[in-house]
Structure 1
Amino acid sequence: MGASIDERKPMVSGFGYASHSSSGIGSAHFRGRGRSHAPFKTWIWRHWPLLMVGSFGAFYLIHRLSHMGSSTSAPKVTSQSAQQLRSDSSRVQNGKVRLSDLIGASIHLSEVAAHEITDVKFGGKEATEVKGKTDEGVDEPVTLADARSNSVFVNGLRELFPGISILSEETDPDLEEVGISAINGVELTHDPWLDLKDILITVDPLDATKEFTENLLHFVTTMVCVVHKGKPIAGIINEPFVKDEAAVWGVALDKATEGADLRVSHGLQPSTEDTVAGADKVVISRSHTGSGADVVSEYLPGKQPVFAGGSGYKALRVLEGDANAYVHVTKIKSWDVCAADAVVHAAGGKFTNLKGERLVYEKDDPLISGGIIAAADSKMHAWYVEKLAPFLSSHGDKQRI
């Protein structure tokens, strides 16, 4: 494209100053046009092709120069991200973004996405398809609600944070304007400005899709997680079908990477039951079970498996006292657990693999291996790590964890 612009420059500048001997009008003749009183209309008529070419050349040059400023070295999420860079709603400043803006935007988008999800369900417009099978051979459905929610989150994040890296369970949506004019920020005692290049946002636009199609709507959540250099530092979990409940969100920062130690959780609801009732319960997946039920029975004395859908739902049950722990013994994807990980740690709990190690979240490798243990109490978490060590050493490879 640069060569074509250069070719037009002589044409634009030459119209007023260069000699065009082939036309019979030299530079001296052209500059003396006023003194000779040559008929202006006649001159225009004779040279209209030159005028047309010059005008189009000038227009093209101006158009190209006006768009050169839209190029940027910001991280590119998808082929559509370049179109996002001209967003009037951008919260990015000098390549940095404020944590409270990321959280506030995610809460707002969760509410918009929840409306889309409930609209699809109550309007009977699910349009369910099967996108594949789990490792356990269970169909993985996807619905119109997944697609609509995904479009809200991905396009909304692009609109507010141009160039940000996004890892979503669903495919890249068509570019649409969400139309966010303002977001309600959240107040944090430590609110760092983070380099955009160090941020990854994971999105599960509809967790527990299988349960959604089976009308087990209490399992359904949406989940957004803010990852900084591989570590989840903020999570937002929303329950679209739980009335009058705001999104649950939490922040977990540490001094080494974010400049301050901070644990903040918001929106958790105490269990309406006696918390002792959940002391012997371990929630496991009802659709990605593997040998989860047998593992609980064999390796966790005194505990009973409770089947539930959605990682977000299971994490909330642990934090609200309805279950003692959440255990998962097969592979799982980043978007399924990242927000739950952040919220559990923000509330003072532990969320690790079966070895007790923190999980790392990477854009290019969404698969989480090694299983999951989540507990609200660090001592109980250590008990689960100890009890599950024999299972991990003898069955790990067989369970593909």
Structure 2
Amino acid sequence: MVCVAVNGKPVLGVIHKPFSEYTAWAMVDGGANVKARTSYNEKTPRIVVSRSHSGMVKQVALQTFGNQTTIIPAGGAGYKVLALLDVPDKNQEKADLYIHVTYIKKWDICAGNAILKALGGHMTTLSGEEISYTGSDGIEGGLLASIRMNHQALVRKLPDLEKTGHKTLYQDTPMRKPSCVRQMISPINTGDTASQVIFRSASLQRLHLSSQIISSKPSSSSVFSYGGIVYWR
């Protein structure tokens, strides 16, 4: 996964599935090769959740949407975002919502956040706050991702986790960065295009991105990559 965040806001995301050789990308106001599905079930949704850091997400989902709700445990935040979209991969699960209630790293969700944002969807904390990709490495407020739904209505429908004594939902063991992901300071020349910056970050994860995805220039040479997220100010 690769993400470009400008002033803390995700603007471009790339998610690559190496086994099926499928790559999804989208840029805010800049096009996409993936799209939303035509319909979603808001009353009894299929909800994709973390398999390894689930916390009490199943209880929260069933409490909110009822016992007819289908829970889909899955690995990988990028995979779970793609589950919300119209992906031409027969092995890809289909879901209506993505809910996470434990600690999660920002580098793990930035690409999916950018893609959803570019397609008119939303990824926020469980209380409806936008996620900023500056400051701390992770978020403790959980997350809710949706597309073509009334996102704020979904937020209001979720239980107030602090008032119901579920504050410990957020107190999960923080995930370590995979060994293949390293913090990298990537100085660039003022004349470098953003696509060149993305290629440098992507090379860490052995992705091959199209140079046609983005061609704008960064405003300064203050650019760095962290866990596949490319930032500039």
* Shared fold per TM-score greater than 0.5: yes
Q: What's 1:24 paired with?
A: none
Evaluate the alpha carbon distance shift between residue 372 and residue 269 of structure 1 in structure 2; reply closer, same or farther with a 3 A threshold: closer
Evaluate the alpha carbon distance shift between residue 233 and residue 395 of structure 1 in structure 2; reply closer, same or farther with a 3 A threshold: farther
Q: What's 2:101 paired with?
A: 329
Q: What's 1:237 paired with?
A: 15
Deviation string, structure 1 residues 80-127 (Cα, Å, up to 9, x no partner)? xxxxxxxxxxxxxxxxxxxxxxxxxxxxxxxxxxxxxxxxxxxxxxxx
Higher normalized strand content (fraction of residues): 2
C-alpha separation in 1, matches of 2:97 and 2:117: 14
Which protein has greater RCO, CA pairs closer than 8 Å, 6+ apart?
Answer: 2
SS in 2 for 1:398: helix
C-alpha separation in 1, matches of 2:131 and 2:97: 17
Is the 8 Å Cα contact of residues 263 and 348 (structure 1) preserved in structure 2?
A: no
Q: What's 1:385 paired with?
A: 155
C-alpha separation in 2, matches of 1:354 and 1:270: 23
SS in 1 for 2:84: helix
Higher normalized helix content (fraction of residues): 1
Structure 2 residue 118 is matched with structure 1 residue 353: no
C-alpha separation in 2, matches of 1:315 and 1:279: 18
Structure 2 residue 26 is matched with structure 1 residue 250: yes
RMSD over equivalenced CA pairs, Å? 2.6
Is the 8 Å Cα contact of residues 37 and 84 (structure 2) preserved in structure 1?
A: no
Evaluate the alpha carbon distance shift between residue 396 and residue 227 of structure 1 in structure 2; reply closer, same or farther with a 3 A threshold: farther
Aligned length: 164
Over the matched positions of the two proteins, sequence identity in percent amounts to 34
Which of the numbers 124, 135, 138 marks the counterpart of 1:367? 138
SS in 1 for 2:13: strand
Q: What's 2:32 paired with?
A: 265
C-alpha separation in 1, matches of 2:70 and 2:55: 16
Written as runs of structure 1 = structure 2, the 5 A alignment for 1:102-113 is none
Q: What's 2:170 paired with?
A: 400
Written as runs of structure 1 = structure 2, the 5 A alignment for 1:132-147 is none
Q: Which amino acid aligns with 2:169?
A: Q
Which of the numbers 53, 58, 64 marks the counterpart of 1:288? 53
**Residue 399 of structure 1, CA deviation:** 1.6
SS in 2 for 1:399: helix
Written as runs of structure 1 = structure 2, the 5 A alignment for 1:188-267 is 223-243=1-21, 245=22, 247-252=23-28, 262=29, 264-267=31-34
Is the 8 Å Cα contact of residues 116 and 122 (structure 2) preserved in structure 1?
A: yes
SS in 2 for 1:344: helix
Which ranges in structure 1 are unaligned for 5 or more consecutive residues?
1-222, 253-261
Q: Which amino acid aligns with 2:24?
A: V
**Residue 397 of structure 1, CA deviation:** 2.3
**Residue 293 of structure 1, CA deviation:** 1.1
Evaluate the alpha carbon distance shift between residue 269 and residue 232 of structure 1 in structure 2; reply closer, same or farther with a 3 A threshold: closer
Which ranges in structure 2 are unaligned for 5 or more consecutive residues?
88-93, 172-233
Which of the numbers 99, 102, 110 marks the counterpart of 1:338? 110
**Residue 289 of structure 1, CA deviation:** 0.4
Q: Which amino acid aligns with 2:107?
A: W
Structure 2 residue 78 is matched with structure 1 residue 315: no
Q: What's 2:177 paired with?
A: none
